[in-house]
Amino acid sequence: MSINIKDVLKKYTMVFALIAVIIFFHAMTGGKMLLPQNVNNLISQNAYVFVLAAGMLLCILTGGNIDLACGSVVCFIGGIGAVIMDKNIGFVFAVIVMLVGGILVGAWQGYWIAYVKVPPFIATLAGMYAFRGLSNVVLQGYTVGIRNEAFLKIFGGGADCYIPDLFGSGSFNMTCLLLGIVLVVIYIVTTMKGRISARAKGYDIPPMYSVLIKMIIISVAVIWFFFKLANYKGIPTSLIWIGIVLLAYAYITTNTTMGRYLYAVGGNEKATTLSGIDSRKVYFFAYVNMGLMSGLAGILTVARATQAQPTFGQGYEMDAIAACFIGGASAYGGEGNIFGIVIGALLMGVINMGMSIMGVEANYQKVVKGIVVLVAIIFDVLSNKKKK
């Protein structure tokens, strides 16, 4: 097996685009883009995008189906949690209610979509209105503050919440860098182990040099990233949640039967049904799961803001959808992966941040974002056409 440069370029187009955009803004902002604080902000500001995009990816996999309601659900769930905590009921209870609430909302929408065959666009459009309205009802139109310390600490409260440094003080956070190193070691060990066992079983394996190149690039990127974070205040708590969600969903999409069914239904629903797979359950799963992610995003959003407002979450659904499509999820379903949405979310985040630092007017920022999404989709459509 040899490596074709063209294939690599095609497979990782968005990664190269991301690098190009980072370099562009780095130059345009006089190096401000990659200041440790900004790297940190990139993660914590966009936590909700990663979480919602993970949920959205599963919906999109089933056939390009989206959830327009998740922004409203984020606000609704966040509102419920804030109100509960405002009444001085324990935060554990509040968190459980918020997650279960998310699941119920997902089940509500999933039922109509999967079993009654309401088109997802319409079912979730209805949800978008309804849950926005309910958010207002829950919050009675006011802002509700959150003072529960434990809740704020765990979920990244006040936009200034980090994993404490185990090695005492100092401006450099050693714990953070160590975590990065540990992750890299785990990554290298598992890759090599997989490679050795694959060779033992006689499977085709890619050549060593390509694996090494990939490994070095990823390791350097991870260490660099954690080094940057260590130079600011360390690991933002939201990064832990993002990490858990992304790892869990990478596992679900690649290693479970349900993950496989999501791709199969999106690729050809009729063939999947005739293979003994109940496609209704697959749709239902995708939307229940989307509800759960909306719940988690709701928690992270109100924790970051230390309050809940009836206007929270507006446009979040679009950010999640955009991250998925930019990250290579097919608008027709059956294609896309977690790695892709990470790149998609980062690309959107970098563009947002870069333009803000440059002082581009907000309205023009939207125009640029729109163009980025369009270009990504055009790319998807054209590459699909060529395949045929």
- For position 2 contacting another protein by CB under 8 A, the verdict is no
Q: Does 203 bind another protein (CB under 8 A)?
A: yes
Angle at 354 between CA 351 and CA 359, to 5 degrees: 120
Q: Which of 203, 209 has the CB closer to another protein?
A: 203
Q: Which of 5, 116, 208, 274 touches another protein by CB under 8 A? A: 274
DSSP letter string over 332-345?
TSS---HHHHHHHH
- Under the binding rule (CB under 8 A), the answer on residue 248 touching another protein is no
Stretch that binds another protein, among 289-297, 313-321, 329-337, 365-373 (CB under 8 A): 329-337
234: left (phi over 0), alpha (psi -120 to 50) or beta: left
Residue 285 three-state SS: helix
Q: Candidates 25, 263, 283, 325: give the one binding another protein (CB under 8 A).
A: 263
In the complex, least distance from residue 66 CB atom to another protein, rounded to whole angstroms: 19
Phi, psi angle pair for 192, to nearest 5°: -65, -40
Select from 27-35, 41-49, 173-181, 256-264 the region that touches another protein (CB under 8 A).
256-264
From first CA to last CA, the distance across the chain in angstroms is: 25
Asked if residue 8 binds another protein (CB under 8 A), the reply is no
Q: Please report where in the chains the tokens 């290693």 appear, as a residue.
A: 255
Per CB under 8 A, does 382 bind another protein?
no
Q: Which stretch binds another protein (CB under 8 A): 106-114, 232-240, 257-265, 364-372?
A: 257-265
Contacts of 297 (CB under 8 A, 6+ apart): 47, 48, 51, 52, 70, 74, 313, 316
Q: Is residue 285 part of the contact set for another protein (CB under 8 A)?
A: no
- Three-state DSSP state, 72: helix
Q: Which of 204, 359, 361, 362 binds another protein (CB under 8 A)?
A: 204
Per CB under 8 A, 250 contacts another protein: no
Q: Which stretch binds another protein (CB under 8 A): 62-70, 104-112, 159-167, 199-207?
A: 199-207
- Could you give the CA distance from residue 254 to residue 251 in angstroms, rounded to a whole number? 5
Token duo for residue 282: 């697959």
Quick check: 87 binds another protein (CB under 8 A)? no
CB of 2 to another protein, least distance (A): 12
Q: Does 344 bind another protein (CB under 8 A)?
A: no
Establish if 336 lies at the interface with another protein (CB under 8 A): no
Q: Which is nearer to another protein, 165 or 335 (CB)?
A: 335
Q: Is 76 exposed, middle or buried (0-12, 13-18, 19+ CB in 10 A)?
A: buried
Burial of 12 (0-12, 13-18, 19+ CB in 10 A): middle
Please give the Cα distance from 328 to 130 (Å, whole number).
31
Least distance (Å) between residue 62 CB and another protein: 13
Taking CB under 8 A as the criterion, the residue among 268, 314, 356, 365 binding another protein is 268
Distances (CA, A) of 251 to 93, 224, 244, 248, 339: 28, 25, 11, 5, 11
CB of 150 or CB of 381, closer to another protein: 381
Query: Shortest CA distance to 77 belongs to which of 50, 51, 46, 43?
Result: 51
Q: Which of 37, 140, 143, 256 binds another protein (CB under 8 A)?
A: 256
Considering only residues 87, 257, 363, 385, which one is a binding residue for another protein as defined by CB under 8 A?
257
| Residue 386 found at the interface with another protein (CB under 8 A) | no
Residues in the site for another protein, rule: CB under 8 A?
Answer: 201, 203-204, 255-260, 263-264, 267-268, 270-278, 330, 334-335, 387
